[in-house]
Homo-oligomer: A and B are copies of this chain.
Amino acid sequence: MTPRYSGIIPPMITPLTGRDSLDIDGLEKLVERLIDGGVSGIFALGTTGEAPSLSYRLRRELVEHTCRFVNGRVPVLVGITDTSLVESARFAGEISDFRVEAVVTSAPFYFPAGQPELREYLEELLPELSLPLILYNMPSLTKISFHRDVVEWALDQEKVIGLKDSSGDLTYFKKMVKLAAEKRPDWPLLVGPEELLAEAVLAGGHGGVNGGANLNPRLYVDLYEASARGDWETARDLSAKVLELSNRIYHVGQHGSAIIKGLKCALSIVGICDDFMAAPFHRFHESERKIIESHLEELGIS
């Protein structure tokens, strides 16, 4: 039984032309690039999408246009993570006008909640949602991980339909795969860090929500498929390519923001969209852009 959300579901970057203005043409080109690349869905307004840095007005606009461009060809998932449950629920309601299939939430991330509080938070949020919910484990930014007890509870909630894990901790991921496999074989377990995609799938995971798929969706789809069919030789080769992309695009500049900056810069170079970044970040300077340019050539991406 293959879960509905298996394969590659890129955490789509948000193309911007300014602090509060969407690059609509860029968005259209990006959506086409992703679907052409064989992705199984699109995840808008995650971390890679700079969601917390965007106004709610723009977030809504992004969802509207994304759904219009996608036009039902693949499922659209939308992040609703906020520090305020009321705002999360409000936004989830707002976007239910569009063709969104599920919403995605991480933990509220200002106050570090305890595990019982995290469960209660989800218990309180669920009835407010008209769409199904996917959990998004992102402890490095939210200060808290979804522990076993919370995930076990979630597995009993019909409305919760999967887990995306961006912890980078494959041991955690494998434990969650095991937990879910027993109770809900329909539950997708999706891995965030692309460097772990092959291993996550081989270990029973169902796919990846990998930033690099914005740039080269086909590579990630191929890697997923090789891993899913157990073709480890191919998976190993493609995995090396993913590592190469990561090494060349995500580590120009020193800061944690280098991943999103690198992706947006690369997408701008290949003519997809503007590389404007929402505060507190800024697009690369010309010198860094030149490096990305030469790295793209070496990677054969255009």
Contacts and interface: CB of A to CB of B under 8 A. Distances in A.
Given A112-B256, A174-B243, A203-B239, 20 more contacts: A52-B108, A53-B84, A53-B111, A56-B87, A57-B86, A58-B86, A107-B280, A111-B141, A111-B281, A117-B255, A117-B281, A118-B280, A170-B195, A175-B243, A178-B240, A198-B203, A202-B232, A202-B236, A204-B236, A230-B233
A204 B233 CA distance: 11
Interface residues of A, number: 62
A124, A168, A174 — which one has the most chain B CB atoms within 10 A of its CB? A174
Contacts of A279: 85, 108, 120-121, 124-125
A52 B84 contact: yes
A38 interface: no
B168 A195 contact: no
Given A170-B199, A230-B232, A255-B117, A280 B55 contact: no
Interface in A147-164: none
15 contacts: A53-B85, A53-B111, A55-B90, A56-B87, A57-B86, A85-B279, A109-B109, A110-B141, A111-B141, A113-B280, A120-B279, A121-B279, A170-B196, A199-B202, A232-B232
Interface string A67-98: 00000000000000001111100100000000
Contacts of A281: 111, 113, 117
Interface string A103-133: 0000111111110011011001100000000
A208 to B, nearest CB: 13
A193 B172 CA distance: 12
A67 B190 CA distance: 46
A278 interface: yes
A257 interface: yes
A33 B204 CA distance: 32
